[in-house]
Amino acid sequence: MLRYVQHDGHPFFQQPAREWNVGKQRERIPGRRFLSFEFPISAFQFPVSALLFSAYCLLPSAYCFSQDSVAQAEEAIRLAAVPSQKAAAYVALGRAYFTKGEEDKAESALKSAIGLDPANADAYLELGQLRIFQHKVPEAEAEFRQAAHVAPDSAVANATLAEVLLQTGRNAEARKFLEKAVSLDARDWHSQYRLATLLSDDLARATELLTNVTRLAPDFLPAREELGLALLRRGDSKAATTLAEALIAAQPKAAEGHSLMAMTLWKARDFEASLAECAMALAADPNSSRMQLLQALELWQMDRKKEAQRLFVHTAKKEPTLATAAVFCRLLLCEARDIGVVDEFLRKNRWAVTPQEP
């Protein structure tokens, strides 16, 4: 069975499989026994994620393999009395082959499972994970959709499909599957967290979900940061500041507390102090789009225009959508009083990241 552990302040699930992620295959390091991934969560980059698909990691059938797991699965296939049992054994064989790095054999075994039992959701989920490893995201989505189709009451299948939809920018559809996953499994804190980040139109429910996540997974700092941001959106800067202070006191080198504090200080128009918190957040998470944009905007507000422009150009060239008012304001939780300065900032600096007419 996969085991939840902590590593450098971030959660992991341990298993003896190879390391991989959506964007690129990681270097395989002998002796490392966990999977780690990077992907954007809501409006900010989550530096090291616990999981690509938390639902998959919670599959009841996911377990660690002994060295003779292939032989054991083959024996189970031989002894299976009915097609559904044989299909389950083929799923185990597919996992065993994948763990060993034999992708073609893993694919063949999983397809055999589906041929024997087209309603075996685990087979589609496992095959989808293989497709993700192969950088075939559309094919992975098709497998996850089929899993959700044959097992509509599976929280695992719904949450896994939602993750792919989030990664490909289809938040509205992802929200539907996350809602179902949460309704099916009240302890699926990762799906609750993901859903909360999509509820900008329902801050009360987002706050409720995030509060529950912090109860279920108290060491999951991004949820506590997101809870603080939800409090800021609701105008409760005092509670957000208290939460930021608690995060910093608990883990002073982690990005989340400093990032939240930077936002609260910016809302209070304490630019110098906010910039200091930005710097500490970026030291821990250099790829935080929120902190990079906040840093650039505050420098602009402090009349340090050239520094602001240089930072903005550097950030927006890597991620052009950051140069749009909608994304900018979503990241920085803009209020009515912020619209003017954001509009001026983008109007005077967007040219640096937008192709010019000859």
- Confidence at residue 14, expressed as pLDDT on a 0 to 100 scale: 31
- Confidence at residue 19, expressed as pLDDT on a 0 to 100 scale: 34
Provide the mean pLDDT of the chain.
Answer: 81
Residue 276 confidence (pLDDT) above 60:
yes
pLDDT tens digits, residue range 230-250? 999 989 999 999 999 999 999
CA 281 to chain centre: 19
Residue 65 confidence (pLDDT) above 80:
no
For range 57-76, the mean pLDDT: 65
How far apart (Å, rounded) are the C-alpha atoms in residues 52 and 285? 19
More confident residue, 352 or 51: 352
More confident residue, 10 or 60: 60
pLDDT tens digits, residue range 119-167? 999 999 999 999 999 999 999 999 999 999 999 999 999 999 999 999 8
Q: Where in the chain is the domain with CATH 1.25.40.10?
A: 3-193, 221-352
For residue 180, what pLDDT band results from cuts at 50, 70 and 90?
very high
For range 33-55, the mean pLDDT: 31
For range 221-226, the mean pLDDT: 94
Say if residues 165 and 128 touch (Cβ distance below 8 Å). no
Say if residues 197 and 223 touch (Cβ distance below 8 Å). no
Residue 281 confidence (pLDDT) above 90:
yes
Q: What CATH class is the domain 221-352?
A: mainly alpha
CATH code for residues 3-193: 1.25.40.10
Write the CB contacts of 311 (distance below 8 Å, at least 6 apart in sequence): 292, 295, 296, 299
Q: Which two tokens stand for residue 14?
A: 């341990």
Q: Which two tokens stand for residue 237?
A: 């800067």
Cα radius of gyration (the chain): 23
- Confidence at residue 350, expressed as pLDDT on a 0 to 100 scale: 77
Helices (H), the chain: 54-57, 69-79, 83-100, 103-116, 121-133, 137-150, 155-167, 171-184, 189-196, 203-216, 221-233, 237-250, 255-267, 271-284, 289-301, 305-318, 325-332, 336-349
Q: Which two tokens stand for residue 288?
A: 């935080």
Rounded to 10 deg, the angle between the 305-318 and 336-349 helix axes is: 80
**Can you tell me which residue has the tokens 């940061």?**
225
